Amino acid sequence: MLANLQSKNHIMKIIQCLEDERTFYEIAADILKYVEEYLNTSHAYIVQRDLEKENYRIVIRYDRDDRHQDAKIIDEQKLQLCGEQMVYAENSRGTYGEELHLLGAECGIGIPVYIKNGQAVMHILILDAEERNFSDEELEYIANVSLIMQDIAQKKVSSRSMISTNGILKAILTNIGSGILVFDMEQNTVLFKNTIAETSEENIRVLSDAMKSMMEEKEHLIPKRPVEFFDAESGLWFDVAFSKLSWIDGRDVVLISSNDTTLKKKNSTRSAFQAQNDFLTGLYNRMKCEMDLKKIAEQTQKNGQKGAVLFIDMDNFKTINDSLGHDYGDALLKEIGVTLQGIVGLRNHCYRMGGDEFIAIVTPENYDLLNKILTNITTYFNRPWYLIDSECYCTMSMGVVLFPENGTDVNSLIKKADIAMYEAKHYGKNRYVFYRDQKDDASYRRLAVESSMRQAVEASCEEFVVFYQPIVNTQTNRCVGCESLVRWNSKALGFIGPGEFIPLAEYLGLIVEIGDFVLETACRQCKEWNERYNPDFSVNVNLSVVQLLQQNVVKHISEIIFSTGVNPKNITLEITENLAINDMERVMKIIDGLKKIGVKIALDDFGTGYSSLNYIKQLDFDIIKVDKSFVDDILTDDYEKAFVKLIVDLSQQIGAKLCVEGIETREQYELLKEMKADSIQGYFFSKPVPAQEFEQKFLR
């Protein structure tokens, strides 16, 4: 069907050559080119018989890559290609195999072109360097070409009207397969119709419509390009071409041809489908996304509405692909495609951008649903995916960009959504993040801190330094211990305080390695000071929630402590209050385990969380550290004073020591001493300082 249609189109092109004013050879060269294009053979020739020498010479040659218009004479005598009448197809093993080989071909067809008195003066020779079989359609096509070529030659020879006889005209026009109607411009009558134009109902309708529309035009102006007609009754599409010709007797006629293009149209919609769709998921692809977004964003801005672009990227697609195989990866992508399409408000606006990246556009009509859509997507991705025969989890990170708020340009919208998606990944994946204009560059700073921190940790934490802040006994006024506090002197970013990098290190999990480094350093330091100055001097080490909830945390910590040889009784691990209540039972178990090592446990930042005093009783802390915020105004604020007094009493009841942090003035110190807080930590004595300085000031 398709081949047939193409052959028709090609024949129409060749028919148009009938009216060409150039020389026969020039026209014939073009025709060879068309023939070659259609048949996709390696060469096409027109060879002429040299009557005197009884051989053939190539007058026109068209090679697939190289076109020679000049006649090229072949000297071989034995190029006796065919009987005078017949069209034949050959392969190199056949009768004319040798000749074909001479021309560098494995197969070929030769068709005589008759002129004048029925003599074959030339042949069209179609050759291919590879063996092939020509189909009936192709043979018919070649025969038609030869007829047209004949007419052209005849016309040039007689230099009179184009077509020599009605018989040939009919033969050509009937064979074409299109509806053909020849209209006499002078008489306003139909001069000729081919079989199709007479018998096929849809062609009859289309041609008569075409004729009418032409007659309505002043001076019967005809369109230069084929016009598309739709025949509603048959549901078929036609290209209707109009060409002005001189009829046999010199009359001016218009040849109207109707060409059924329904199939071509279907194919082109299919290729438009292919061009705009992702073959795996059936969703639209990147190209269509860009097209749609451009339209939607412009329209949205014009109408003063709002829309959003959601950029979705799988969090662990690669793992699934690598561990389960590509079939599962593909199945997952398909599932995701179906799921996204099914979310209310997203239908027809989901796109696969490539790999495991998807985009969904929330149009202004659905903008009200945005939050719901975001929740729905998150919910779906928190559920397992059922793939082929197993289930797996694959979460996503999503960046959300709003238009026109964040821009209207397609590329920048997609890029910003991508940036936000990247943010979501860095905040821990499995979430969505709205794009923010990063003029504050907070998130860029964060990314820089992150990458430098990873490098610093990989380089054995060498950029990290442990400082020590004295803890002073209120009764003796002596420094009995210290708290170890980490500092980061980043080569790339300069000094960074723990307030900035510890939360990020916790979030990235890097706190485990950093924490190990601090613990080990502090334990070694403690051991050294114990040996040199005071066997009871103790060092506090902060333990992050993340460290505490690691598998085998007790074993891990005890290994570090024992490896340093420090006496565990001189080590106090500080755990923050917020953690303690979040997972009480688990924390209780861990604390028990740690205490068995022999270390002390301090509850840090007391008063900032929500732990009830009851919990504190249960948890059996050795030390309670009251947060700085309770002493800032303790001299003037009665509530603060009452609170601290209560904690002092309570700690005595439960047998825990009380340490108050953040003492900055002598007055504060005196008051707490009076209130019987056991120990004090604060700038009043010293800020955290490097080990050497600490040693000099507080141990010698």
Contacting residues toward ligand C2E, per CB under 6 A = 469, 485-486, 497-499, 502, 515, 518, 542, 544, 574, 604-605, 628, 661-664, 681-683, 688
Nearer to ligand C2E, 332 or 660 (CB): 660
Residue 518 site contact among Ca ion, ligand C2E, none (CB < 5 to 8 Å, cut-off depends on kind): ligand C2E
Judged by CB, which is closer to Ca ion: 128, or 604? 604
DSSP readout, 270-298?
Answer: HHHHHHHB-TTT-SEEHHHHHHHHHHHHH
| Residue 292 touches which member of Ca ion, ligand C2E, none, C-beta under 5-8 Å by kind | none
User: Rounded to whole angstroms, how far apart are CA atoms 426 and 571?
Assistant: 35
Report the largest interatomic distance among the alpha carbons of the chain, rounded to a whole angstrom: 136
Distance CA 576, CA 557 (A): 17
Q: Which does 236 bind (CB under 5 to 8 A by kind): Ca ion, ligand C2E, none?
A: none
Stretches 199-207, 220-228, 282-290, 535-543: which one binds Ca ion (CB under 5 A)?
535-543
Pick from 180, 151, 145, 178: which is nearest to 166 by CA?
151
Q: Tell me how far apart the alpha carbons of residues 143 and 39 are, in angstroms, rounded to a whole number.
A: 13
- What distance in Å separates the CA atoms of residue 284 and residue 485, rounded to the nearest whole number? 54
Name which of residues 565 to 584 contact Ca ion (CB under 5 A).
Answer: 574
683: partner contacted, choices Ca ion, ligand C2E, none (Cβ within 5-8 A by kind): ligand C2E
Structure tokens at 633: 């105004």
Shortest distance, CB of residue 541 to Ca ion, whole angstroms? 9
Between 196 and 539, whose beta carbon lies closer to Ca ion? 539
3-state secondary structure of 343: coil
Please calculate the CA angle 574-575-580 and round it to the nearest 5 degrees: 155
From 69-77, 112-120, 337-345, 537-545, span contacting Ca ion (CB under 5 A):
537-545
Is the previous residue joined to 384 through a cis bond, with omega within 30 degrees of 0? Answer: no
The nearer residue to Ca ion, 356 or 604, going by C-beta atoms, is 604
Measured from the CB atom, the residue of 90 and 574 that comes closer to Ca ion is 574
C-beta of 570: minimal distance to ligand C2E in Å?
Answer: 17
553-564 and 584-597 helices cross at what angle (nearest 10)? 20
Binds 99: which of ligand C2E, Ca ion, none (CB < 5-8 Å by kind)? none
Which of ligand C2E, Ca ion, none interacts with 682 (beta carbon under 5 to 8 A by kind)?
A: ligand C2E
329: nearest Cα among 418, 286, 376, 390: 390
Which residue's CB is nearer to ligand C2E, number 7 or number 681?
A: 681
Selection from ligand C2E, Ca ion, none that 309 binds (CB < 5 to 8 A by kind) is none
Is the Cβ of residue 450 or residue 664 nearer to ligand C2E in the bound state?
Answer: 664
Q: Cβ of residue 619: shortest distance to ligand C2E, in angstroms?
A: 18
CB of 403 closer than 8 Å to CB of 297: yes
Count of CB atoms within 10 A of residue 71's CB?
Answer: 13
Report in angstroms how near the CB of residue 484 gets to Ca ion at its nearest: 9
Q: How far apart are CA 400 and CA 681, in angstroms?
A: 46
Read off the DSSP letter of residue 696.
I
Q: 278: how many CB neighbours lie within 10 A of its CB?
A: 20
Quote the least distance from Cβ 450 to Ca ion, whole Å: 24
**Residues 138-177: x where in contact with Ca ion by CB under 5 A, - otherwise, as a string:** ----------------------------------------
Does residue 538 belong to the site contacting Ca ion (CB under 5 A)?
Answer: no
Backbone dihedral region of 180: left (phi > 0), alpha (psi from -120 to 50 degrees) or beta? beta
The residue (of 246 and 608) whose beta carbon lies closer to ligand C2E is: 608
Q: What is the DSSP string of 641-665?
A: HHHHHHHHHHHHHHT-EEEEE---S
Which is nearer to ligand C2E, 260 or 574 (by Cβ)? 574
Nearer to Ca ion, 151 or 605 (CB): 605
Q: Verify binding: residue 542, Ca ion, rule CB under 5 A.
A: yes
- Nearer to ligand C2E by C-beta: 253 or 502? 502
Distance in Å, CB of 638 to ligand C2E, minimum: 22
Q: 337 touches which of Ca ion, ligand C2E, none (CB within 5 to 8 A by kind)?
A: none
What letter would DSSP give residue 139?
H
Position 678 contacts Ca ion (CB under 5 A) = no
Beta bridge partners of 91: 107
Backbone angles phi, psi at 89, to 5 degrees: -120, 145
Among 39, 4, 3, 26, which residue's Cα sits nearest to residue 142?
Answer: 39
Residue numbers 598-657 binding Ca ion by CB under 5 A: 604-605
Question: What whole-number distance in Å separates Cα of residue 301 and Cα of residue 403?
Answer: 8
Interaction partner, residue 662 (ligand C2E, Ca ion, none; CB < 5-8 Å by kind): ligand C2E
Reading the block at residue 348, the tokens are 């027809």
Closest to 212 in 3D by CA, of 259, 261, 254, 246: 254
The residue (of 231 and 605) whose beta carbon lies closer to Ca ion is: 605
Please state the closest distance from residue 699 (CB atom) to Ca ion, in A. Answer: 21
Backbone angles phi, psi at 303, to 5 degrees: -90, 5
Among residues 418 and 604, whose Cβ is nearest to Ca ion? Answer: 604
Helix runs in 538-607, H state only = 545-548, 553-564, 577-582, 584-597
Residue 404 binding target from ligand C2E, Ca ion, none, CB below 5 to 8 Å by type: none
- What is the 3 state secondary structure string of 38-72? HHCCCEEEEEEEECCCCEEEEEEEEECCCEECCCE
Shorter beta-carbon distance to Ca ion: residue 111 or 575: 575
Q: Which stretch binds Ca ion (CB under 5 A): 3-11, 200-208, 217-225, 536-544?
A: 536-544
CB of 483 to ligand C2E, least distance (A): 6
Q: How far is the CB of 541 from ligand C2E (least distance, A)?
A: 7
Output 399 or 682, the one with its CB closest to Ca ion: 682
Choose among ligand C2E, Ca ion, none what residue 544 binds, the Cβ cut-off being 5 to 8 Å by kind: ligand C2E
The minimum distance between CB 560 and ligand C2E, in angstroms, equals 13
Q: How many residues bind Ca ion (CB under 5 A)?
A: 4
Residue with the two structure tokens 């697609």: 317
Helix (H) or strand (E) holding 327: helix 326-342
Measured from the CB of residue 463, what is the shortest distance to ligand C2E in angstroms? 14
CA distance 305 to 282: 29
Task: Name the 3-class secondary structure at 44.
Answer: strand
Shortest Cβ 495–ligand C2E spacing (Å) = 11
Beta carbon of residue 467, minimum distance to ligand C2E (angstroms, whole number): 7
**Of the candidates 469, 466, 523, 529, which has an alpha carbon nearest to the alpha carbon of residue 680?**
469
> Please, what is the minimum distance in Å from the beta carbon of residue 440 to ligand C2E?
23
Is the Cβ–Cβ distance between 182 and 247 less than 8 Å? yes
Beta carbon of residue 467, minimum distance to Ca ion (angstroms, whole number)? 12
Q: Dig out the tokens for 298 from the structure.
A: 């412009």
- For residue 52, give the H/E element and its range: none
The residue ranges that bind Ca ion (CB under 5 A) are 542, 574, 604-605
